[in-house]
Chain A
Amino acid sequence: MALRGIPHGLQFAVSWISPIIRVGVVMRHLLRIACFVCFVLCGCAKSVPPSVPANEAATPVWFEDITVKAGLTFVHDPNVAGKYFMPESMGSGCALFDVDGDGRLDILLLNNAGPKSKSTNALYRQKADGTFEDITVGSGLDFAGWCMGVAVGDVNNDGLPDVVITEYGGTKLFLNLGGGKFVDVTVEAGIQCPQWGASAAFVDTDRDGWLDLVVVNYVDYDPSKNCPAANGKPSYCSPKSFPGSPSRLYRNRGTKRTSFEDVSLASGIGTLPAPGLGVYAADLTGDGWPDLFIANDGKPNFLWVNQKNGTFKEEAVSRGVAYTFMGQAFAGMGIAAGDVDNDGLVDLYVTHLGLETNTLWKQGPRGVFRDRTTEAGLAATKWRGTGFGTLMADFDADGSLDIAIVNGRVTASGIDTNTGVPKHWEPFAERNQLLANDGTGKFRDVSEANKSFCERFNVGRGLASGDIDGDGAPDVLVNAIGEPARLYRNVCPNRGNWLQIRAFDPKLNRDAYGAEVRVVVGGITRMRVVGPAESILSSSSPIVNFGLGQATSIDSIQVIWPDGAKENFPGGETNQTRTIRKGEGQP
C-alpha cells in the first residue's frame, strides 16, 4: 500500500511491521507519528530566504538623526479623539524649500489636529550655523487644520516660492511675501476645493510660463460611518468604504493679481473620481509636455497624458501603470520617481500596503511601463511595511538612485511593544526602509545597517529630501503621526563625487519646474527632472542632485526646458552646486 505523503524509508518500515501488528489503534498512532515526522521534515522547513549579498556587512550608515542638534522641536499632533476619524490616520506632509531666498533650505511641517486645535503648522528657518529657528508665529502658515499635503512653487513668478496646503475639507494657497511671511489668497485666486485634499503639485501644464496647480483629492469621507474590525473592535475605515473624489486642475491665468481658473472638467482630470493620494508631474511620454501620474488607493492608478491643447487623456492601462503585472490595483500612496537604471527614462516606484508589495514600474520603451518589482530585487525586502512617503536620491553618490521609504500601517495590527510610539499609534507603527541601487537598477535592502533611519518604529507619512547643509549629499526629513518630526543628515562615508544643479529660468524668475537635466560623465548619461512634488503629501528641494561615483569631471550638461527648448552647457568640475540659466547654453 502506498502511503501518500510519507517518505519512502518510513513507508518501508511501516509496510514491514504492518502485517504483524493487527492492533488498529497502534497502527493509527504509528501512522500519525510518521505523518508528523513527515510534516516536520517537509512542512515546517522554511524555504531558504533570499541570499544576502556578501557586502551586506560593509554597508555604510547613510544617516544621522540631527533633529535635536538642529533645533527642530515640532511634534505632530493628530488630535486622537477615540472616534477613529479617518483623517487622523493619514498624517501630514512636510516641505524642504528656501523660504527666504538666502540659499539655505528651510522647513515646513504640517499638523493634523483640526481647525479648533492649538497645534498649528510650523515653519523653521535655517540659520547660517545650520540650526533652525522657529518662525511659525506670524508667518501666515501658522494655522490649525486637518492639514495633509504641501506643494511649493512660485505661482506669480516673483522669485519667491509660494505654498499650497491641502486639508481634509479644503485647499489653501499662500503667497510668499518674503522674509518668511505668507498671505492666504485662496478665495481671491479662485481656488475652491472643499474636498479631502491629499498631495498637490505645481506644473506648467500648458507651457505658458505660469505654474498651474493640480490637487489630488482622496475620498468622499463620511465621518458618521463606523468601520469596526471583524472582531468588533473600533478601527479606521478603509478607503473602499467611500467613493473616490476627482482631482482638480487649476490653470494659472498669469495675471498680475494671482488668479486661477478651475479647468478640472475642461481638462478631463476632474471627470474621473478615484481615491488619489500621490502625484508626480513630468513628461512621461516623451513629447515634451508634462503628464500627471496619480497613485490611487486601492484603485487603478491614473496616467493623465497631456494632449497639448489644455486637455488630458487617461492612459494608465495601456501604458502599463494602472495595475501591477499580476493585474492588481494595489493601495497606491507615495510616488518615488527617477531613472533607476540610467537609461534616460523616468521610472516610477509606488508604495502600497504591507500586505501588498511596493511596485517599481520601469519605463521602456518610452511612454510604456512594466512592473519590474521582482526583477529589481524589490519584492524580497528585509521587512514589509505600509509605505507612505518615498523618494529616490543617490544617497551614497555612487551614480545610481537609491530609495527611501517611511512606513506606518493604517490598521492596528502591529504587535510590537515598547517602541516609544504613543500608545494609540503603537499598533500602527512600523520601521522605515532604505534600498541601495547596485548601479544596474537592482536594489538591496540596507535597512538593517541604517539603524538611525530604519530601526525606530514610527507611523511615517511625510518624507522630503534636500541638501540641508550644502555638502552635496541628499538629507531627508520625516513627518510621522503623533511624534516629533525627524531630520536626518546624510553622513554616508566615502561618498562619490557629486553635482547639484539649479535649473533656473531668468525670464520667469523661478526654478524651471519640469525641466529635464542630463549630465554626461564618462559616456554615461544621468537624468533628473526638476520638480519638488514626489513622495506623498510632501515637497522636496527643487535642486537636482547627481551622484557621480569616482568621476572627477563632467563632460557636458544638457537641459530640456519645460517649453521644449534644448540647451547644452559645458561640463566642468564635480562637487559643486551650479545654477544653469535658460538662454545661456548652446542650442
Chain B
Amino acid sequence: MLLRSTGIVRFLSRNRIVVAILVAVLIGGGYFAFGRGPKVVPPQIAEVGVEPDVLEAVREARNNVITSPSDAAIWGQYGMVLRAHSLHKEANIAFAEAQKRNPYDARWPYLIGEYLQSRDPEAALPYLRQAVGASSPKPEHQSMTRLKLAEALLQRQDYVEAEKWFREQLGVRPNDMRASIGLGTTLLAQDKPDLALPFVKAAANVGAFRKRATTLLANLARLRGDTDAATAHEAEANRMPEDEVPPDPFVWDYMTLQVGRKDAFGRIGELEKANRIQETIPLLLDMTRKYPEAKTYFNLGVNLSALGDHRAAIGHFETTILLDPTHAKAHNSLGLSLAVLADTVAEPTKSEYQRRAIVEFDRAIELKSDFALPYIFKGQVLYARGDQSGAFDTLRKIVATRPDVADAHTTLIVLLEKAGRIAEAKGLLPAAERVVPLSDETFQAARLRLNSK
C-alpha cells in the first residue's frame, strides 16, 4: 500500500513496456557481461600412457567442443568419449557443462548420477532426480531414469519414495521385471512379505531377473521355516545362469564410443561368443600389425586351430612364445596343435610331432603346475605312443591335484577302460561322479559300460 502511493510505482505501472525493455536490456547486458562467466576450457586428460587410438578419439571430441563451446550435445559427446575410456574426472566436468547448456536433457545428469551412485550415493541422488525430471530421447531411457532413482532410494532405505517410483514404472510398463523385483525387494525390506510375494513371483517366472527372484523366494521360504520349499527354490536358483540384466541404455550409448585395444578385443570376443570364428581371423590379422603382442598372436592361433588350421596356428603360437616365453597357455596350445597334426601324418613325422607336443605340455606344466589341460593332453599323447604307465601317472597326478576338473577324471577312466583295467576304472567312478556333469556323454557312456561289467 505504501509503495503504491509513491511516484515511482505509479511511473512503473504506467510505463510497463518501457520498464520491461529496460529490465530486459539490463539482464541481457548483465548476462553478456558477466553471466556467461569466463570461457570454459574443455578438460584435458593426462596423456601419458594413454593408447594412441584413445588419444585420437579424445582429441577429436575435445576439438569439437572448442569449435562449438555452446553446444550441449557436443559437450555431452565429449563426456561420453571420456567416460567410455574410464576418464571419469574429465567426463564429469564435460557432462556438467553439457547440463548447464541444456538442463532438459536427461542424459547428462543421469551420467553424473550414475557415476556418483557407487562412490557417493548421497551426492548422486539430486542428479538422478534431475534426470527423472528432464526429458529422455527414448522410452527406455525414461524407464532407466525412474528405475535408477528408485533403486538409489531403496539402497538408502527411502522405501516410500522408492515404492512410488517402482509403481510408477510398472504403471508405464507393467511387464518391467526390474521394477517388479525392485518393488518386491522394497516391500520385503519393509517386512511385508505377503505384499512382496506377487511381485517377486512375477519376476521369477519370466524375464532377466529370474535368478534374483528365485533367490528371494528361497530366502522367504527359509524365513517361513519351510525347508522343503527353500531347498527347492535354492536348487532352482543354483541351476540358473547368472541373470543377464539388460544393458543400461545410457551406458550403452557411451560404450559404443570405445576405441583402442580393449574395444578391438571386445568386438572379437563378441564374435567368438557367437561362434563366428572365421570372421575374427581378418580382424586379428589386422591387429597383429596394430598390436603385435603375445595376446594378439595367441588369440589368432587359438581361433585358427578352432577352425582346424593347425599348421597356421602353430606359427602364431610360436610367435606368442617368442614374445612371452612364460605363456603357459601358448605352450599348451602349441602342444595340442602338434598332437592333432601328428594324427594326420605318417611315421617318423608322427612320432616327432608327438615328441614335440610332449615337450610343450611339460613346459606348460612347469610354468603352471595346476594347469590341468596339458596333463590331460600329455596323458592322451603318451597313451597313443604306447606309454600306458606314463599316461596313467600323468592323469592320476592331475586328478589328485585338481579333483575339480571333470575332464581329468573322464580321460583317466576312459583310457583305463580302453586298456582293460576295468576294476581300476570302476574304482574311480564315485569321485568322478561328483564333478562330471550329466551332460558329459563320453563319461556317462563309459560309466554305463563299466557298471555293466
Contacts and interface: CB of A to CB of B under 8 A. Distances in A.
Contacts of A262: 400, 403
Given A230-B84, A317-B218, A380 B122 contact: yes
Given A43-B109, A271-B404, A318 B125 contact: no
A323 B53 CA distance: 39
A416 interface: no
A152 to B, nearest CB: 25
Contacts of A322: 215
Contacts of B221: 318
Contacts of B134: 5
A268 B126 CA distance: 48
A52 interface: no
Nearest to A263: B403
Contacts of B358: none
Interface in B17-67: 17, 20-21, 23-24, 27-28, 31-32, 35, 45, 49-51, 53-54
B403 A270 contact: yes
Contact of A194 (B234, B261, B262, B369): B369
A11 to B, nearest CB: 15
Interface stretch (B138-146, B327-335, B348-356, B416-424): B327-335
Interface stretch (A34-42, A105-113, A455-463): A34-42
Nearest to A319: B222
Contact of A192 (B209, B234, B401): B401
B157 A375 contact: yes
B394 interface: no
B222 A325 contact: no
A319 B218 CA distance: 8
B28 A326 contact: no
Contact of A225 (B86, B100, B209, B295): B295
Contacts of B54: 230-232
Interface in A369-421: 370, 374-375, 379-380, 384, 415
Contacts of A268: 434
Nearest to B293: A226
A46 interface: yes
B353 to A, nearest CB: 24
Contacts of A68: none
Given A47-B126, A262-B403, A374 B31 contact: no
B31 A318 contact: no
Interface in A220-237: 220, 222-226, 228-234
A50 interface: yes
Size class of the B contact interface (CB-based, 8 Å): 35 or more
A16 B50 CA distance: 53
A169 B20 contact: no
B123 interface: yes
A138 interface: no
Contact of B222 (A20, A29, A220, A318): A318
B158 to A, nearest CB: 10
B20 A21 contact: yes
Q: Is the interface of B mostly helix, strand, loop or mixed?
A: helix
B53 to A, nearest CB: 8
Interface in A229-261: 229-234, 245-246
Interface in A1-40: 4-5, 16-17, 20-21, 26, 29-30, 32-33, 35-36, 38-39
A301 interface: no
B273 interface: no
Contacts of B295: 224-226
Interface in B174-188: 181, 185, 188
Contact of B126 (A4, A43, A222, A245): A43
B447 interface: no
A43 B401 contact: no
Interface string A321-334: 01101110000000
B94 interface: no
A318 B50 contact: no
B390 interface: no
Given A230-B84, A231-B51, A384-B119, A318 B126 contact: no
Nearest to A365: B223
A232 to B, nearest CB: 3
Contacts of A39: 99-100, 103
A273 B403 CA distance: 11
Nearest to B25: A26
B127 A43 contact: yes
A29 B28 contact: yes
A21 B24 contact: yes
Nearest to B263: A230
A233 B49 contact: yes
Interface string A360-372: 0000010110100
A315 B233 CA distance: 11
A194 B401 contact: yes
A497 B260 CA distance: 62
Contacts of A375: 157
Nearest to A19: B20
Contacts of A45: 126
Contact of A231 (B85, B212, B431, B435): B85
A195 interface: yes
Given A228-B261, A228-B262, A379-B155, A271 B23 contact: no
Contact of B21 (A21, A32, A265, A379): A21
A158 interface: no
A187 interface: no
A433 interface: no
Contacts of A226: 293, 295
Contacts of A30: 24, 27-28, 31
A524 interface: no
A266 interface: yes
A193 to B, nearest CB: 8
B442 interface: no
B103 A38 contact: yes
A562 interface: no
B223 A315 contact: no
B329 A222 contact: yes
A268 B403 CA distance: 11
A266 B431 contact: yes
Interface in B242-291: 243, 258, 260-262
Interface string A82-104: 00000000000000000000000
B51 A379 contact: no
Given A33-B35, A224-B324, A232 B49 contact: yes
B440 interface: no
Contacts of A32: 101
B434 A271 contact: yes
B326 interface: yes
Contacts of A222: 328-329, 368
B50 A233 contact: yes
B130 interface: yes
A528 B327 CA distance: 48
B156 A317 contact: no
Contacts of B233: 317-318
Contact of A327 (B86, B181, B238, B401): B181
5 contacts: A192-B400, A232-B85, A271-B434, A271-B435, A317-B218
Q: Which 9 A-B pairs have the closest CB atoms?
A: A232-B51, A327-B212, A318-B218, A355-B118, A318-B230, A224-B327, A194-B370, A230-B86, A318-B234
Given A39-B99, A232-B261, 6 more contacts: A30-B24, A36-B35, A38-B103, A47-B126, A230-B84, A326-B154
Interface of B: 17, 20-21, 23-24, 27-28, 31-32, 35, 45, 49-51, 53-54, 84-87, 89, 99-101, 103-104, 109, 118-119, 121-123, 125-127, 130, 133-134, 151, 154-157, 181, 185, 188-189, 209, 212, 215-216, 218-219, 221-223, 225, 230-231, 233-234, 237-238, 243, 258, 260-262, 293-295, 298, 324, 326-330, 368-370, 400-404, 431, 434-435
